[in-house]
Chains A and B, each alone.
Chain A
Amino acid sequence: MKRRTLLAGVTTALGLGLAVGPALAQDKPKIGFVYVGPVNDGGWSQHHHEAAMAMKAHFGDAVEVVEQASVPEGADAERVLTQMALGGADLIFTTSFGYMEPTIDVAKKFPKVKFEHATGYKTAPNVGVYSARFYEGRAIEGFLAGHMTKSNKIGYIGSFPIPEVIRGINSSFIHAQKVNPDVEISVIWISTWFDPAKEADATQALLDQGVDVVLAHTDSTAPLAVLKEKGGLGFGQAADMYEYAPEPRISSIIDEWAPYYIKRVQAVIDGTWESDNTWDGIGAGMVGIGEITGPVPDDVKAEAMKMKDDIASGAYHPFTGPLNKQDGSPWLAEGEVADDGTLAGMNFYVQGITGSIPN
């Protein structure tokens, strides 16, 4: 209540800032980016930063880019976003899930500034969300992992038990099992997106348990560094991480944000920007599959590439029935395809995965 009545006051108070912002923007749009990690983390934040730079290179002098890295989620993020908006930003990309509430809060106060929030689910007239169907890439990784494991044990390093990670685990496992019915998957939750030492320890623990192919859903290159040292195969995550090719990195899921950034900035320039809810995959070019390298046999490579093409064209959906849930209850009938609603809130394992989702 108190908050609502205040809003009118806030907008008047900020009127000065708003008047200045768009005035400057008429000739040159100002685009802001906020990152949760340092821009040299080798993964998530670095990749958003590189995409921002690619966008800048595309438009040249036609746009101005402001960036702020290592912004803690919460109250500090709210201030940083407000600063950017006051500074005349026309469009601000907030590139971490934890910025969801701050983004929505600040967007209320700056109805003329546009916001794009990555991986969240709350939208507003001036807040769009965008996310990638990483599970499509996981299908290909799972397929390769199922082929390449000699111990029939693959490992998955998860951050938090949220739908995005659970989708990744399920998709990987389904496709590993398709080519290798004996395969088992071990999941380790490390409760952080970015802690190289912990990621390294988790990789080591998986190796100690007999795992020989590791899929990481965390941000650093530490798992690959450990695999290189100790043996075993892995994948690039978020970035290509090609510096670890041809082995241990045998392929990768690459976040291709640049085309989306270019498209949305263009929309702002054209005055056609509208709040959206984008969830794109391989087909739209938001999820890239890095070159398949190393010891992967040619026929497996070809099959993987065909799977990629089928997913891209829509001929194949990674979650296609028959699929049962972990407890054996039926989920998808023969030929049935999972709907986006179920996928967006996925909170169960598919049949065959042992272990349980925490909490």
Chain B
Amino acid sequence: MDFSSFNAALLIASLMVAATPVLLAAIGELVVERAGVLNLGVEGMMITGAICGFAVAVNTGSPMLGFVGAAAGSLVLSLLFALLTQLALANQVASGLSLTLFGLGLSSLIGQSYGGQKPPRAYRLDIPGISDIPFFGRAFLQHDMMVYVSLALVAGVWALLKYTRAGLILRAVGENHDAAHALGYKVITIRILAIAFGGACAGLGGAYLSLVRVPQWTDGMTAGAGWIALAIVVFASWKPWRALIGAYLFGGITVLQLNFQAAGVAVPVQLLSMSPYVITILVLVVISARSSGAGAAPASLGRLFHAGR
């Protein structure tokens, strides 16, 4: 085997780009699940974000506005899920799956006239002198802004959950909604806010695909990224920094697999592609086997809450 053609800095740079869409979506879903809600509509929200972001960016010429539009579009879609599950008390699994179906159709309808168009270029970090530092600069400091936004979001969510009162309430709602309600917290309001945040993040992730990583609009272009984001949340056992590791691991396996092929190394593609999911299951087993609560799923995850009884 000849590894001379492997350039670690380039690999790291590529994997960060490949991981960013799923990381953005995962960090949003993590907050949603921490609040005790399971939204399986991530794929639908991502693809809606991809087209909303693309359309806004093309029409305004500003990628920044594009990302804002993406977040807004997916947020609106996620409110539909909130309406169903929090106010109409519908089942979360079925509502989430319906949301994905709806989002895929909606995005394709909106996107009918956007095929073949090119979005404006996203702003890229370039600090004279610093971005050119050998290895470190190439690997970490020459990305577009959203890569850093995703990292900032991870840090922000971590700090929010760990150090703030809002984070404490959010976790309380996710662990035991009846107790949280008894303590006077507005369970439904908090969950709606979490769902909206998750929607906005999924939208950013989708727009990252259509504006930066691919960059173009095509029907169904998320191609399952939303489902990977769901897997990452589980892999991370609902902890923000582990979500970062998970996303980079999933991204890293993809990038490495492709690089191995390009370097002429025969790799069992399917075996490698399924390995992150198998690892996720193993992680899940380990945390549920050793823990009496710590690191396991939020106790109220996916369960129905109705205050008036």
Question: What B residues does A220 contact at CB under 8 A?
Answer: 216, 218
Chain A residues numbered 174-213 whose CB sits less than 8 Å from any CB in chain B: 186-191, 194-198, 200-202, 204-206, 208-211
Residue B261 contacts which of A189, A225, A226 (CB distance < 8 angstroms)? Answer: A189
CB of B259 within 8 A of chain A?
yes
CB of A259 within 8 A of chain B?
no
Question: What B residues does A202 contact at CB under 8 A?
Answer: 258, 262
**Residue of A whose beta carbon sits closest to that of B114:** A40
The reply to whether A42 and B261 contact each other, CB–CB distance below 8 Å, is no
Question: Bound state CA distance, A222 and B223, in angstroms?
Answer: 14
Interface string of B84-113 (1 = CB under 8 A from A): 000000000000000000000000100110
Question: What A residues does B121 contact at CB under 8 A?
Answer: 229
Report how many residues on chain B are interfacial, defined by Cβ distance under 8 Å: 39
Known contacts A40-B116, A41-B115, A187-B261: A208-B11 contact under CB 8 Å: yes
Residue A209 contacts which of B115, B220, B263, B266 (CB distance < 8 angstroms)? Answer: B263
Question: Bound state CA distance, A188 and B112, in angstroms?
Answer: 31
Residue B112 contacts which of A40, A225, A229 (CB distance < 8 angstroms)? Answer: A40
**Residue of B whose beta carbon sits closest to that of A357:** B266
Question: Bound state CA distance, A194 and B222, in angstroms?
Answer: 11
CB of A354 within 8 A of chain B?
yes
Question: Bound state CA distance, A38 and B5, in angstroms?
Answer: 38
In this complex, the interface size class of chain A, counting residues with CB under 8 Å from chain B, is: 35 or more
The reply to whether A196 and B266 contact each other, CB–CB distance below 8 Å, is no
Residue A358 contacts which of B5, B255, B269 (CB distance < 8 angstroms)? Answer: B269
Listed stretches B26-34, B129-137, B207-215; interface member? B207-215
Interface string of B228-266 (1 = CB under 8 A from A): 000000000000000000000000001100110111101
Known contacts A204-B17, A222-B214: A355-B266 contact under CB 8 Å: yes
Question: Bound state CA distance, A152 and B177, in angstroms?
Answer: 63
**Residue of A whose beta carbon sits closest to that of B221:** A196
CB of A221 within 8 A of chain B?
yes
Min distance, Cβ B214 to any Cβ of chain A, angstroms: 5
Residue B209 contacts which of A40, A197, A243, A356 (CB distance < 8 angstroms)? Answer: A197
**Residue of A whose beta carbon sits closest to that of B258:** A205
CB of B306 within 8 A of chain A?
no
Question: Bound state CA distance, A38 and B107, in angstroms?
Answer: 13
Question: What A residues does B221 contact at CB under 8 A?
Answer: 195-197
Min distance, Cβ A218 to any Cβ of chain B, angstroms: 12
Question: What B residues does A209 contact at CB under 8 A?
Answer: 5-6, 259, 262-263
Question: What A residues does B292 contact at CB under 8 A?
Answer: none
Known contacts A209-B5, A243-B116: A201-B219 contact under CB 8 Å: no
Question: Bound state CA distance, A72 and B121, in angstroms?
Answer: 34
Question: Bound state CA distance, A222 and B218, in angstroms?
Answer: 10
Question: Bound state CA distance, A206 and B259, in angstroms?
Answer: 7
The reply to whether A206 and B269 contact each other, CB–CB distance below 8 Å, is no
Residue B215 contacts which of A194, A225, A355 (CB distance < 8 angstroms)? Answer: A225
Question: What A residues does B111 contact at CB under 8 A?
Answer: 40
CB of A119 within 8 A of chain B?
no
Question: Bound state CA distance, A60 and B83, in angstroms?
Answer: 50
Min distance, Cβ A209 to any Cβ of chain B, angstroms: 4
Question: Bound state CA distance, A206 and B220, in angstroms?
Answer: 24
Min distance, Cβ A274 to any Cβ of chain B, angstroms: 37
CB of B10 within 8 A of chain A?
yes
Question: What B residues does A172 contact at CB under 8 A?
Answer: none
CB of A70 within 8 A of chain B?
yes
CB of B18 within 8 A of chain A?
yes
Question: What A residues does B218 contact at CB under 8 A?
Answer: 38, 40-42, 194, 196, 220
Chain A: residues with CB nearer than 8 A to chain B?
Answer: 37-38, 40-42, 46, 70, 155, 186-191, 194-198, 200-202, 204-206, 208-211, 220-222, 225-226, 229, 243, 354-356, 358
Chain B: residues with CB nearer than 8 A to chain A?
Answer: 5-7, 10-11, 14, 17-18, 21, 108, 111-112, 115-116, 118, 121, 209, 213-216, 218-223, 225, 254-255, 258-259, 261-264, 266, 269-270
| 16 A-B pairs in the complex with CB atoms less than 8 angstroms apart | A38-B108, A40-B111, A42-B115, A186-B263, A196-B221, A197-B21, A197-B225, A204-B14, A204-B18, A209-B6, A209-B262, A220-B218, A222-B214, A225-B214, A243-B116, A358-B269
